[in-house]
Chain A
Amino acid sequence: MSNRWRLFYILLLAAFFVLLMSFNQLWELVLGRIFPAEQELIYPRAGLLQLVGEHLLLVTLSSLAAVTAGAGIGIFVTRRAGREFLEPVGDLTSLAQTFPPVAILALAVSSLGFGWKPTVVALFLYSILPILRNTVSGLEAVAPEVLEAARGMGMTPAQRLVRIELPLALPVILAGIRISVVINVGTATIGAVIGAGGLGTPIIAGLVRENPALVLQGALAAALLAFSLDQLIAQVEKALAPAAGRRAGR
C-alpha cells in the first residue's frame, strides 16, 4: 500500500471514529435494542467524545514521556559509557514486565493518592518497558559492518547514532511504541476506578449501577479506540519500513 493510500486510510479511520463517538442517537438506538429493559442507555454526565478526549490525554502525556525516557535509556545502555548497565537494565525490564499494570496503578495510588496524576505516573512507568526493550534490541540489531563502515568514513558517534543507528532501529522502536500505547489505553481504562476519567468511567458506572448498557457503551468505545490507535501506528510503521531497508543489515 503506498503512502498516499495509507494517509487516506488513517484519515478515514479517524473521521469515522470521531463521527461514531459523537453520534449519540446511534448508540442509544443500538443499546436500546440489546437491552430493552434499561432506562439509561448512555453515560449521562459526559459525551463519548469528551471521554475519548480525556482518555487520549492520559495516554498521550504518559506515552510521550515514556518514549523520551525509554528511548533515552535504551540509547544510553547501548553506548560505550552505559554498556555496563545493559544487562541489569535488561533483567529489570524482564522482571518488571511480569508485573501486571493494574498492580503498578495500585501502587501509584497508594503513594500518590487519587485522580489523574497517579494514573499518568503509573502509565508512564509501565509503558517505558516495551519501548526500552525494543529500542535496545533495535539498536543492537544494526549490523556491525554497517557501523564499521560508518566509523571508517569519518562519522562522529553522534552522527552514527542519528544518521545510521536510529533510522535502522526505527521500525522495531515503533513496534515497541505501538505495544506500549495499546497497553496504555487498557490501563487508562482502569484508571476510571481512581477517578482519572476516560472511557472506563461509563464501564465502572455501569458495573456499580448494574446497568449493562453503560458497560457496553464504554467497553465498545474503549475497544474501538485501542484498535484504531493500534492501526494508526501500524500504518506509520509500514510507511517507514522501506526507508529502513528490510532488516537493519543482514
Chain B
Amino acid sequence: MIELAGVSKLYQDVPAVRDLSLKVSAGEVCVLIGPSGCGKSTTLKLVNRMLEPSSGRVLIRGRDVHSFRPELLRRQIGYVIQSIGLFPHMTVSENIAVVPRLLSWPREKIRARSEELLELVGLKSAQYGSKLPFELSGGEAQRIGVARALAADPPILLMDEPFGAVDPLNRELLQSEFARIQARLKKTVLFVTHDLDEAIRLADRIALMRDGRLVQLDSPEDLLAHPAGSFVRSFVGADRALKRLSRFPVADFMSPARAVRLEEELTSQLEAVRGQTHFLWVVEENRPSGWIEVPPAGRAMPDHPEDLITRFDCRELAVNREATLRSALSRMLGQGVKAVPVIDGNGQLVGEISLKSIEAVTEEGSRS
C-alpha cells in the first residue's frame, strides 16, 4: 500500500533520513520508533508530502505521490498530530466535517458520518457534537482528532505521536480504543512514537530507526526475541519478557472471579466454597471493596464472619479489563498480592487475574 523506495531527506546537507526503504501492506499497522532525531517524524511527513524527499520515491498503491497535487493527496490520507490542532472556532462536528466538505460531500452524508465517527471513538454525538475545542479534555480532544482524520474514510492513516500529550492513564485507554477501532476498520497505519511499550502493544510491525536509517523491521515478538545488533538490544532494554506483556489485554487472560456479596448472608456463602479456595473477593453492588479469608474445612466458622474481611481501595488494587498484563503485574508487585480483581468501565467486577496466569504467558514467550 505504502512504499518508500530509497528515500532520503537532507536539510542543508545534513541528512535526516538516509536511503530508507520500507513497505507497508494494506491493513497493517507499522510503527516507526527510535531515539529523538532519528528521522521518524520526517519519514512520516514524506508520505503526505508535508515534506519533500531529497531523493528516492514515495509510492501509494504503486503511484508516485508526486503525481498528485499535494492538497488532493492529503485529503485521501488521515493525519493525526501530537498537538492535535483542532480548529478552535469550529464545533466538534464542524471539525470532523472539514475534509468531507473539502470533498464536497452532500450535507446529510456529512452529518451522518459525524455522528457515526463520534460513536466510533466512544463519545456521545448528541453531547459532544456542538461543543467547542476549549471545552474538551485532553483525551477527548485527541479522540476528536482521530475521528476527524477518519472522516472521509481514507485508506491510510498517518499518526505522529498522537497520544504523546495525554497523561499515562488516558494514554492506555486511548491505545485500547485505537486497537479496537483498527480491528474494526483495518486501515493502513503508519504510526510514530517514542514509547516502545506503545509500539509493542499496537504494531503489526515495528520499524526501528537510528540516525535516519532503518535498523530493524520486524513484528514486535521477533524484535523482542531476536534483536539485531547491540543498538537494538540496548534500545529494547533488558526487560524484554516484561515488555511482551504490554501486548496482551487483561480481558484475554482473566479467570472468573469468585466473590461474596456483602448484601447477602455471609456464612452461607462462605460455607459453599469451603475447601475450594482460601479467599474470596468482597463486592458491594458488584463492586469490589475488599477480600475475605475463607476458613479451611477443619476450622470452626466464626460468629462474626465480617471480621475476616480486609478492605481495600478498589482504585488502588483493581485493574481495568482494557489494561495490559504489564500494568496488572505492576499492580500486583506494588501491592504485594498474587491476584487482583478486574473491573470494567463502570467499576463492576468482571473477573480476576493472577500471577500464575501471567507467568504462564511469559513462560510461553521464553519458549518460542
Chain A residues near B (Cβ < 8 Å) = 143, 145-156, 159, 164, 167-168, 242-249
**Bound form: Cα–Cα A180–B148 in Å:** 39
* B73, B84, B89: the one within 8 Å of A243 (CB): B89
Q: Which of B89, B134, B148 has its CB near the most chain A CB atoms (within 10 A)?
A: B89
Q: How far is the CB of B90 from chain A (nearest CB, A)?
A: 8
Which residues of A lie under 8 Å from residue B75 when comparing CB positions? 153-154
Q: A145-B81, A148-B81, A245-B134 are in contact. Are A154 and B88 (CB under 8 A)?
A: no
Interface size class of B (residues with CB under 8 A): 20 to 34
Interface status of B341 (Cβ within 8 A of chain A):
no
| B83:A244 contact, CB within 8 angstroms | no
Complex A-B: 10 CB contacts under 8 Å: A148-B50, A148-B85, A149-B85, A154-B76, A159-B102, A167-B89, A168-B87, A168-B88, A245-B87, A249-B88
Which residues of B lie under 8 Å from residue A154 when comparing CB positions? 70-77, 99, 102
Kindly count the residue-residue contacts between A and B in the assembled complex, taking CB atoms under 8 Å apart. 78
Chain B residues near A (Cβ < 8 Å) = 48, 50, 70-77, 79, 81, 83-90, 98-99, 102, 132-134, 145, 148, 158
Which residues of B lie under 8 Å from residue A249 when comparing CB positions? 88
**Bound form: Cα–Cα A168–B90 in Å:** 10
| B74:A152 contact, CB within 8 angstroms | yes
| A152:B88 contact, CB within 8 angstroms | no
| A245:B83 contact, CB within 8 angstroms | no
| A145:B50 contact, CB within 8 angstroms | no
* A153, A243, A247, A248: the one within 8 Å of B102 (CB): A153
Instruction: Give chain B's interface secondary structure class.
Output: mixed
Which residues of B lie under 8 Å from residue A247 when comparing CB positions? 88
Which residues of A lie under 8 Å from residue B145 when comparing CB positions? 149
Q: A145-B81, A153-B74, A154-B71 are in contact. Are A245 and B48 (CB under 8 A)?
A: no
| A156:B85 contact, CB within 8 angstroms | no
Q: Which of A149, A159, A246 has its CB near the most chain B CB atoms (within 10 A)?
A: A149
| A152:B102 contact, CB within 8 angstroms | no
Which residues of B lie under 8 Å from residue A244 when comparing CB positions? 88-89
Which residues of B lie under 8 Å from residue A159 when comparing CB positions? 102
Q: Which of A152, A244, A248 has its CB near the most chain B CB atoms (within 10 A)?
A: A152
Q: Which of B48, B72, B90, B99 has its CB near the most chain A CB atoms (within 10 A)?
A: B90
Q: A152-B74, A155-B71 are in contact. Are A146 and B102 (CB under 8 A)?
A: no
Q: Which of A143, A154, A242 has its CB near the most chain B CB atoms (within 10 A)?
A: A154
Which 9 residue pairs are nearest across A and B when measured between Cβ atoms? A149-B85, A154-B74, A154-B75, A245-B88, A152-B79, A145-B83, A145-B85, A244-B89, A245-B89
| B88:A248 contact, CB within 8 angstroms | yes
List the B residue with the shortest CB-CB distance to A246: B134
Q: How far is the CB of A10 from chain B (nearest CB, A)?
A: 23
* A147, A150, A245, A248: the one within 8 Å of B132 (CB): A245
**Bound form: Cα–Cα A151–B76 in Å:** 13
Which residues of B lie under 8 Å from residue A153 when comparing CB positions? 74-75, 79, 98-99, 102, 148
**Bound form: Cα–Cα A249–B86 in Å:** 8
| A143:B71 contact, CB within 8 angstroms | no
List the A residue with the shortest CB-CB distance to B158: A152
| A146:B50 contact, CB within 8 angstroms | no
Give me 14 other A-B pairs in contact (C-beta within 8 A), A154-B74, A168-B88 excluded. Answer: A143-B85, A145-B81, A148-B81, A150-B87, A152-B50, A152-B74, A153-B79, A153-B99, A153-B148, A155-B98, A167-B89, A242-B132, A248-B88, A248-B89
| A152:B81 contact, CB within 8 angstroms | yes
List the B residue with the shortest CB-CB distance to A142: B88
